[in-house]
Amino acid sequence: MRAMPGPSGPRWSVDDVAYDKIDRAAMADKLDWFYLVAASSFVEILSDLYARNLGDYYAGDEEARDWLAHKWEPEEMQHGEALRRYVQAVWPDFDWQRGFDGFRTDYAPYCQTALLGPTRTLEMAARCVVETGTASFYAMLHVASPEPVLAAVAGHIRDDEIGHYKGFYRFYRDYQRRDPHSRFRVAREIWRRVVEVDSEDAFLAVKNVSIVHRPGSVFTRADFRAFRDRIRAWMRLHYPFQSAVKMLLRPLDLPAPLQRITVPLIVRTARRIV
């Protein structure tokens, strides 16, 4: 019997968020924030699809499936719900449902059980990469937000994402014990997923925000690159590179001296790339 990761029950509730206290004037003209928060709400709410895929992939592992269904999925859904309500409170003219429906249709083909893996151990390592990405992203929103209610929501989500990382990491360790993979193989998988983090879901989410927000206009890859470059300027200022790199490397279980050399090196490189 392995230890169940994380405490049960949500740490916070979307019903406790002070949507009536939002400083709307601080956000009204912040177009990049609108795109970022709306696109994030789409990706988070689609977690029911991801959860089903992961549940299928880990068929027979009742502990993992139970955690995914009763801890991970409800928390991810709550992230989407909290962000959706925020978007609707600040930008009420935006037809959220239409944007989300478009995103779901566009993204569903990319979201298949067949794309998971290649092994259960490596998929758990890959999940750690994804949760590192989301934890770091919401940590950035938490400090960069020009509006306090959004900062608070982002802080709650960041804490949950760190909890998810810990959950997947424990499952990873457990699989690694039963079905060991070489450090090289895990590193290769982590790298593959890091490169992938910037992939289709972000593009399609932002594209579908744009389709609803600017009817009749075409959203191109170049538009997305321009948007991403503006977000990178925030990242240079606010992204928690140090903790992100440590979280990414943790599944490799590097000897301490090697870790001391590697972490600052990768942090410097990541900052340069961003």
Within the chain, residue ranges assigned H as helices are 24-27, 31-45, 47-57, 62-67, 73-90, 96-107, 120-144, 148-178, 183-196, 200-213, 221-238, 241-249, 256-273
Separation of alpha carbons 272 and 68, rounded Å? 36
Count other C-beta atoms under 10 Å from residue 71's C-beta. 21
Stretch that binds Fe ion, among 77-85, 91-99, 120-128, 186-194 (CB under 5 A): 77-85
Spell out, one character per residue from 22 to 51, where the chain touches Fe ion: x when CB under 5 A holds, - when not.
----------------------x-------
Q: Which of 50, 196, 192, 194 is nearest to 111 (CA)?
A: 50
142 touches Fe ion by CB under 5 A: no
Select the residue interacting with Fe ion from 76, 174, 189, 201 (CB under 5 A).
76
Separation of alpha carbons 27 and 232, rounded Å? 19
Stretch that binds Fe ion, among 16-24, 55-63, 134-142, 236-244 (CB under 5 A): 134-142
- Closest CB to Fe ion among 46 and 149? 46
Select the residue interacting with Fe ion from 17, 42, 43, 79 (CB under 5 A).
79
Spell out, one character per residue from 155 to 174, where the chain touches Fe ion: x when CB under 5 A holds, - when not.
------x--x----------
147 touches Fe ion by CB under 5 A: no
- Closest CB to Fe ion among 106 and 161? 161
Instruction: Return the DSSP state at 111.
Output: -
Return residues touching Fe ion (CB under 5 A).
Answer: 44, 76, 79, 131, 134, 161, 164
